[in-house]
Structure 1
Amino acid sequence: MKDKLWKPMVNGDGAALTITRKLPGLVGLVLLALGAAGFGGAAKADYKLCNKTSYALSASLGFVEEENLLTRGWWRLRPGECKTVISADVQPGRYYVYAEAIPGHRGDLKTWSGETPLCVQNDSLFTLRDQSVCKEDPQRTRDFNAVDVTGEDGGNYTTDFTDENNYTTYQAQIAGVQRLLSDVGFDIGTIDGQLGATTKSALRQYRRSRGLGQDGVVDNQVIDALITEANNEDAKLGFFFCNETMLPVWAAFAQPADGSEGYRSSGWWLLDSGSCAKVRRGALTAEPYYVYGIMQAEDQELTLAGGDTQFCVAAVQFDARSDIACEESGFDTARFRRIDTGGEKAWTFVFRAEQFNQDLVQQADQPAPEPAPAQ
């Protein structure tokens, strides 16, 4: 049987998923749902994921194995590619699927998702058998879509990732090459899934300039080269946090709101000692950005000093606009430190221990903070 998923959802740059339920309780509900869906009958099945979009995707799957809810990923799906992700000992029941576009694609991050938050490993291949890890690091949560596989599906199941164009796999492959060529700076005209003269010309130029041959052939070699180049370019852009303290730091970030006036604050990123995280994708704009952090020092929490602009925060993962009344909307407030990037396309803010070694009482005696800025 084949299942079509889904029109893409768009997350703004650096967007944080909002967790409204505690994960242990949610996992219990998921396991009950899995049991109710009929796990238990033996059946041989192949589970395939097919990418029928113009985006290169990273995909993940959730399912029950030996009574544990397991998530596994990431599978790289080239545009137009189908890949078997389960090939043996697959039983009917409820599965959970999620995919997101690779970071090298321009524009807002696009996801193919649902309503069930499960845990992933952000930056590497993974198999997770303990969903409680997201309690400590909520940025590892993704919203998966539920897929029910029955014994009537004939032993095979395919989930298609689609978009509004309803491409065939061949059209998706061509559209993906077009999008990737555009991502790395080549003029391909319209992304339409047609291998026309403009696309062929751009493809020949790319292959010649990268030492990949003289023709305009679309193959896995050129697609993989384009994906690598697009991701490498993206890695040079954005706003990054790095923790050079000896202790964990919980970090939050405020940036101009997409498509409207004002700012939005989001968090939390858990930064272990020596670790870094990208909190905003793409080239930075000229507007200031704002940072906030809490360092866990034994039995107390030390806040980042130097903050002069107030934004909304919460005790759990959050995303809040600056044009709301924080307290009335269920948020707390915190003073964020202003960062002027001077027009740079990338910036790294480094948390250091001395930035937190300020007398908290002195901070309380400072003048009232400025309100959150508007664009």
Structure 2
Amino acid sequence: MLKLTIRLAAFAIVLAALGTTSARAEYSLCNKTSFALSAALGFVEEDNLLTRGWWRLRPGECKTVISEGIEAGRYYVYAEAIPGHRGELKTWSGETPLCVQNDSLFTLRDQSVCKEDPKRSRDFNGVDVTSEDGGNFTTDFTDENNFTTYQAQVAGVQRLLSDVGFDIGAIDGQFGATTKSALRQYRRSRNLGQDGVIDDQVIDALITEANNEDAKLGFFFCNETLLPVWAAFAQPTDDREGYRSSGWWLLEPDSCAKVRRGELAAEPYYVYGIMQAEDQELVLAGGDTTFCVSAVQFDAGSDLACEASGFDEASFRRIDTGGERAWTFVFRAEQFNQDLVRTEEPAAEVIADEEPSEQ
């Protein structure tokens, strides 16, 4: 399958040579955005390309990620905002697809794993380090605001306070009266002290709370069959003028995946799945609405003529969530048509407002 298509945020990635201060050269990542980031790095070690992550970067934080000697060559960097931030997922990325381990710390020396699970692919940005540069190196994750590290820290607290429901006004990196008041209220209500200062403790508490709230929202797939399931999903576009189908999520037995972030809209959603048996592919029965799909990773609008645009067509099953904020669709073996012919819809169980099991 092709590499995962990732929505890009406005970004700039800057390589800075800081000068030689000791015999040891280090590589650091610095977050100058208003988002808390999860970052990863790719580099060559003993003739093997490996990726390593995830490093949590608080807004305004710089962190050394390689403390041993830095050799000249190409490095690859990637970062994405934590899930707890509202809105579309923001990424700082490039054009080189590399593999990662989702949702956990990792050092990955096998870049072939994305062939089996393309959702583990991220588009890294290449950074060239030359022997003439020398010294220690820092990659800055920035955005259109060009914050200093202090301004990024303040803006990050503003964004996180907004994420958990506090009114802070503009996210501008200015530590004004509104921000100080909201921060003081937050600290007091969470037993984090009476003052309104910014420190790592309050930032970490905000990150945890925002992520915990996000974990309760969205659309989830869970696989309770004994076989792998390739799943696809169709959801309303942002303007509610149409739908967008996307896939594939590889669901191993007894695994779950979030396929849509944030609180659900009132409109129906649509699901599709293929269960991989040894000698055949069994299709999810009960489909009633056609959307575009592809044999590789895809993202397609419902306004496309599928065949003319290079896609296939598949019948997705409609799911009415009834206004729930979260929904879990459970794939079970009896939902798949054993004859590979779509017939009438079998009984299916869905679970509303329930988090998936830990993976």
Q: TM-score, normalised by structure 1?
A: 0.85
2:103 to 118, 123, 132: 123
Aligned to 1:63: 43
Aligned to 1:279: 259
SS at match of 2:90: strand
Structure ranking higher in helix proportion: 1
CA distance in 2, matches of 1:218, 1:350: 42
Q: How do 1:21-40 and structure 2 match up within 5 A? A: none
Aligned to 1:37: none
- 1:335 corresponds to 2:315: yes
- 1:266 corresponds to 2:253: no
Tell me by how many angstroms 1:259 deviates. Answer: 2.8
Aligned to 1:233: 213
**Cα deviations across residues 114-159 of structure 1 (Å, max 9, x unaligned)?**
0001101111001110100000000000000000011122221111
2:223 to 243, 248, 256: 243
Letter aligned with residue 212 of structure 1:
L
SS at match of 1:179: helix
- 1:217 corresponds to 2:197: yes
CA distance in 2, matches of 1:345, 1:153: 52
Q: How do 1:1-375 and structure 2 match up within 5 A? A: 19=4, 44-259=24-239, 261-361=241-341, 363=342
Q: TM-score, normalised by structure 2?
A: 0.89
Tell me by how many angstroms 1:89 deviates. Answer: 2.6
CA distance in 2, matches of 1:327, 1:230: 42
CA distance in 1, matches of 2:238, 2:94: 23
**Cα deviations across residues 76-125 of structure 1 (Å, max 9, x unaligned)?**
00000000001113201000000000000001110000000110111100
Structure 2 unaligned regions, length at least 5: 6-22, 346-359
Letter aligned with residue 157 of structure 1:
F
CA distance in 1, matches of 2:331, 2:51: 32
CA contact (8 A) 2:4 2:122 kept: no
**Cα deviations across residues 142-180 of structure 1 (Å, max 9, x unaligned)?**
000000011122221111000111000000000000000
Aligned to 1:6: none
CA distance in 1, matches of 2:316, 2:67: 50
CA contact (8 A) 2:84 2:211 kept: yes
Tell me by how many angstroms 1:44 deviates. Answer: 4.3
Tell me by how many angstroms 1:257 deviates. Answer: 1.3
Tell me by how many angstroms 1:234 deviates. Answer: 0.2
CA contact (8 A) 1:18 1:318 kept: no
CA contact (8 A) 1:19 1:316 kept: no
Tell me by how many angstroms 1:192 deviates. Answer: 0.9
CA contact (8 A) 2:4 2:119 kept: no
Letter aligned with residue 290 of structure 2:
Q
CA contact (8 A) 1:45 1:155 kept: yes
CA contact (8 A) 2:294 2:311 kept: yes
Q: 1:228 to 1:365 in 2, by over 3 A?
A: closer
CA contact (8 A) 2:243 2:301 kept: yes
Tell me by how many angstroms 1:261 deviates. Answer: 1.3
Structure 1 unaligned regions, length at least 5: 1-16, 21-42, 367-375
